[in-house]
Amino acid sequence: MVNRLNSSYFVRPPAMVVSISVINHSFSSAKTWEVLRPRAPPQAFAKFIWFSGATPKPAFHMWVTNLNRLPTRSRLAAWEMQITPVCCICSSHPETRDHLMLSCFYAEVLWFKSRRRFRDTVPVFTNWPELVLWLSSSSPATPSHLRTMVIQALIYNIWKQRNNMLHNQALTPPLVTFREINRHIISSIYAWRKRKHFSNLMARWLI
Ligand SMILES: [Zn+2]
C-alpha cells in the first residue's frame, strides 16, 4: 500500500492531469483515466470486429481468436502443462486455433453449410491468414458486414462446442449448431435492417 501511495502516479501526477483539473476547476476521473492510460494505435483488423451491430460476445471472442490467445490444448501444452495436446473434439489432431476453427471435422461441417448460404464462392480456408484476407475484402454478393457476422458466429460457436466437449463430454451435432447460427444471423439482420449496412443483407444470406 505504501509503495502504491509513493508511486509517481500518486505523488507526481502528469502535468496534463493537473492542467485539466485547473481548467475545469473540478476533478474528472474519466478525463484523468484517458490521460493516464497507455493507448495503442488502432489495429487495422479492429474494424472487422467492432462495428455497429456486432454482437458483443462473438465480437470479443473473435478479437481473442485473431490474436491467437485462446487457451487451446496445444498452447497449454507448450506452457508445459501436463495435458494432452490433441483436439477435444476429434481427438486426432493437435488442438491449434487453425485446426479447431478451420479443419476439424466439426468446423468443416459448419463452413460447408455456411458456404452454401452465400451468393458467392467462398474459398476453403486452410490457415488463419487466408481467412483474414477474405474477411478484409468485400463484394456486392458478400458485403463485409455479412462476412464478419457469419465468421464471428462460427468461431464463437465452435469454441463453445469445444468447451462443451472439454467440460461435459458432450457435443451438439454440427447441423443443430448451424441452425442456431443461422437463426442468430437472421435475427441480427432483421434487428438492424433499417441501418445502411444491413438493409440488403437478408437477400444475400440464402434462407
Ligand atoms: Zn479436431
Task: Supply the angle between the helices 144-168 and 105-115 in degrees, to the nearest 10.
Answer: 150
User: Letter for the amino acid at 149?
Assistant: M
Whether residues 58 and 156 share a domain: the answer is: yes
CA distance 204 to 77: 42
Whether residues 101 and 73 share a domain: the answer is: yes
For 182-194, write each residue's pLDDT tens digit: 999 998 888 888 7
Whether residues 105 and 139 share a domain: the answer is: yes
Whether residues 31 and 87 share a domain: the answer is: no
| Cα(137) to centroid(ligand 1), Å | 28
Beta partners for residue 94, in sequence order = 86
Whether residues 6 and 77 share a domain: the answer is: no
| Cα(195) to centroid(ligand 1), Å | 38
Whether residues 128 and 111 share a domain: the answer is: yes
| Cα(108) to centroid(ligand 1), Å | 10
For 19-34, write each residue's pLDDT tens digit: 555 556 678 888 888 8
User: Letter for the amino acid at 152?
Assistant: Q
CA distance 17 to 186: 47
Whether residues 118 and 199 share a domain: the answer is: yes
| Cα(174) to centroid(ligand 1), Å | 13
Whether residues 32 and 61 share a domain: the answer is: no
| Domain containing residue 7 | 2-36
CA distance 20 to 121: 54
Q: Does residue 5 carry a pLDDT above 80?
A: no
Whether residues 11 and 104 share a domain: the answer is: no
127 with 98: CB under 8 angstroms? yes
- What is the chain's length? 207
Q: What is the pLDDT of residue 194?
A: 79
| Cα(96) to centroid(ligand 1), Å | 9
Query: Looking at 9-18, 29-38, 67-76, 92-101, which range is the least confident one?
Result: 9-18
Alpha helix positions (H), the chain: 2-5, 8-11, 15-24, 29-36, 56-66, 73-78, 97-98, 105-115, 128-135, 144-168, 174-191
| Cα(67) to centroid(ligand 1), Å | 20
pTM: 0.79
| Cα(111) to centroid(ligand 1), Å | 14
Beta partners for residue 205, in sequence order = 118
Average pLDDT, the chain: 85
Whether residues 64 and 29 share a domain: the answer is: no
| Cα(105) to centroid(ligand 1), Å | 6
Whether residues 12 and 113 share a domain: the answer is: no
Count Cβ atoms within 10 A of the Cβ of residue 90 and give its class: 0-12 exposed, 13-18 middle, 19 or more buried: middle
| Cα(90) to centroid(ligand 1), Å | 4
| Cα(92) to centroid(ligand 1), Å | 6
What is the rounded end-to-end Cα distance, in angstroms, of the chain?
60
Query: Domain tally for the chain?
Result: 2
| Cα(168) to centroid(ligand 1), Å | 17
User: Letter for the amino acid at 69?
Assistant: R
